[in-house]
Structures are given as C-alpha cells and as structure tokens.
Structure 1
C-alpha cells in the first residue's frame, strides 16, 4: 500500500507545471516560489543568468520567470541565448522598465510576455495561467494537423513552420498568433478576439503589442516576390489572405 501511495504522489508531482524563477533578489524568489507553489506549481530558482542557462538547457520547464536585471548579464541576453539555442520554453520577463523601446527589445530577444514592477501577485498569477493555457492548447501531439496557405505550411504536431520549403523559426507567441490566423484564413479577426485567444482572457497591458508581433510575423513569413499573407483591416483587426506580390 505504501508503495502505491508513493507512486500516486510521484505521478501528482510529475503533473505539476514546472516553473523556473530567475532573480538575484532571494526574498523575491522565495515570495514568488511560495505563491506559485500555493497554486499547485513546482518551482526551482536561479540567482543569475549563467545558472539559469544551465537549468534551461538540462531541464524541461513549462515557464521561466526571468528578471531583466541580473548580476552577470541581463535577462534579455539570457532569453536571446535561449532562443539561439533552440529553447522555446515560454518566458515572462520581470522589469522595472516601462519604455516602449525596451519592451520591443524584450520581445526581440524572444520573450513571450513581461510584467512591470511593482506588480500585484494576482496579475502575475493570471499571466502565468494564461500562458500555460496557450501552451497546453498548442502542445505537440502525434496526431497533429497540417495547415497551409500561399506556400505557408504549419504542422501542428511538430510545430514546424515553413514557406515554399524554407523553414521558419517562430517564438512561442509568434506561433500562437500565426495559428490563430491560419485556423480561419480569409476571415477578419478582430483585435480583441486575437488578444483574448493568444494572450488569454486575463490579458493585461498595451494591445499595441499585437502590432509588434504582427510586424515580427510579416518579416518572417512574407518573402520578396511572393504574395503577402497578413492583411490589416483598418479599425477592425487582421486576416490571413493572399494579397499582392511583395516587392
């Protein structure tokens, strides 16, 4: 009986989403760990960028909560190195910075979301839940489907994206956004619907981030000499539809 109980407890632990908290403030790490564990998440901690990179390269995480300012190098640099190594785990950056240029820098590094200090723990937990929901909905499955339009091909099982045979690397959020548009091509997707679908019901923040991600997607999936794919419907939203040939 004891062996069965141990096995059940192990299975419960295995089902817990795994969170890595990266911050040089030990009090903040302990606070976040306690709040996340109270929500049923398993946590581990890292105090600097080097330790974080070691952990993300050796362990499968469901989410990394990453402070911008670290003693060795910035959280943005950590994220950039993760993405260049092919690590696609979602990253939520904590930052005291609120400048638009710095938000863009964080997104350019491959971050999926960020939250500005000081923040409420309720907002952070809501963002965590929303990110995990998106990851769950779009997790790879053996029975994935293939979606295509205008030479663009997405395999939802392997999460591979290509256009005209050329592989395209997307961040987790870029992939979610593309999938949202590609599941219903030739239809207008209102901005608020896209935000709710991709960022979650409890999205907090500037919806101009949607325009930033649309710009990123266009750079990656639209090629010179090929029809454009992502169309802007002014005042409404966006749609995926073959358009004029891009010069």
Structure 2
C-alpha cells in the first residue's frame, strides 16, 4: 500500500500498514550509514550488517522486504550471502552493489538470482528508485486490485497473492520472474522486444546487457514449460511472446 508523508512524498508501506523493512549489507561503515539515513527518510525500517554472517543473522531475525547487498565482503562474497539468505527468505528481492568495472560480478549476481544492481559510486536517488521498483514488484508495497487474476490457456497468475499455477499445479517464481511473466501475460500473443521488456521489468537500460532478458526467459521456461507444451516463444530478431499451448488431441 502507499501513503503520503507530511513532506508530500509517496510512501510505500507493507500490506498491514507497517514500514517496509530494508536490510543494508556493506563493510564500509560510512556507506552503510549514508544509505541507512537515506532509506529511513523514505519512512522505511532499516537494519544493517557489515559482514556476511551478520547479514544472514539479521535476515533471519529482521525478515526484510528487500536487501541491499555488497558483492564483496570481508568474510564471504555476496553470492554466498545471497544463497544463505534465500534459504531463509526464498522470495526476498536483492539489490547488489558492485564495483564500476566488474561487469562479470553484475552478470554473476543476476545469474545467481539477484534482482538488480547498482555500480559504485552511485547516487542515493538511484538506489531509492531501484528499491522502490523491487518492493513494488515483490508486492510488499502494492495495494489491492480489482481484476487481479491473469489467465493465458491453463496458466494463471494472481497479481494480489502472487500465486502462479499451470494446469492446477503451483509454480514458485522469484520477484523478477513474476514481473516478467506478468508483463508477458498482460500482452498475450504480442511479440515484446528485449528493449520493451528491459524498460518495463527492470525500468532502465541495462547498459547493453540485454542478455539478462534471455537469462530470465530461460528461467521462466524451465518453470512454466518444462515437461509441457511450450507457451513462451522466441521470434528471432523480434522478441518473445506467450500464447496458449495447443490442446493435445
């Protein structure tokens, strides 16, 4: 849900009206404090950690709605932390902080299940904007909608409960996978280009890293189409579309 602060800002809140919870993990104390101050200004509840083990303990106790995670920590790398946090909180969105020239870190983070990244040095406004996008995608700050169920063939997606089923079987998706599938299902039989998907799902140009779309399309296919007639299709040189699978004779 959203509210308006006394300063006129739109505040994201959890469905129960409590503040959004953000876990900030970075071994630079000054950066952690700066980020925490900026996010508290958004009306969010903040917990911080300066190492990987502390991050895992904080995630377990704090149950954050979103995590800001540095790729390089003193005791373990961000990918290891991501794996441990996701065992506790499989759906929590993660925004990675990476070195400016570490392109391989960005791709590795997304491949491992991270939802987004920003490069150092970064603007606080950019971090806040990215987090707002992740929170909305995950549903922590979303309000109720009227017609909330999308259906394409035997595939259904509930925008309120974030439940996805195909043929009555439940399918678990990460926040980013859910948003990508939602975009496809809102546009059935329509070819969507990589640029359109990047703009809608990630809300910005990925600096030429359009292969992230191919990566997440492959994730969806494994979960939606595995062992079934395919619904997600590639139009070479044009983009991707979703349409009902043909009914077996």
Say yes or no: TM over 0.5.
Answer: yes
Q: TM-score, normalised by structure 2?
A: 0.78
Residue 52 of structure 2 aligns with which residue?
Answer: 49
Which structure is richer in relative contact order (CA contacts within 8 A, separation 6 or more)? 2
* Aligned residues of 1:180 and 1:198 also touching (Cα < 8 A): yes
Aligned residue pair count: 232
What does 1:35-184 correspond to in 2, within 5 Å? 35-96=38-99, 98-100=102-104, 102-136=105-139, 139=142, 145-184=148-187
- Equivalent-residue separation in structure 2 for 1:43 and 1:137 (angstroms): 15
Q: Which secondary structure does the structure 1 equivalent of 2:157 belong to?
A: strand
* Aligned residues of 1:127 and 1:203 also touching (Cα < 8 A): no
Q: Which secondary structure does the structure 2 equivalent of 1:239 belong to?
A: strand
* Aligned residues of 2:139 and 2:160 also touching (Cα < 8 A): no
Render the CA deviation track for 1:5-36: whole Å, top value 9, x for unaligned. Answer: xxxxxxx9965432211111111111211222
Q: TM-score, normalised by structure 1?
A: 0.78
Deviation, 1:150, is 4.1
Q: Which secondary structure does the structure 2 equivalent of 1:89 belong to?
A: coil
- Equivalent-residue separation in structure 2 for 1:212 and 1:95 (angstroms): 20
* Aligned residues of 2:137 and 2:175 also touching (Cα < 8 A): no
Residue 238 of structure 2 aligns with which residue?
Answer: 236
Q: Which secondary structure does the structure 1 equivalent of 2:156 belong to?
A: strand
Deviation, 1:140, is 8.1
**Which has the larger share of helix?**
1
CA change 1:108–1:191 in 2 (3 A) is closer
Residue 221 of structure 1 aligns with which residue?
Answer: 224
Cα RMSD of the aligned pairs, angstroms, is 3.1
- Equivalent-residue separation in structure 2 for 1:83 and 1:137 (angstroms): 17
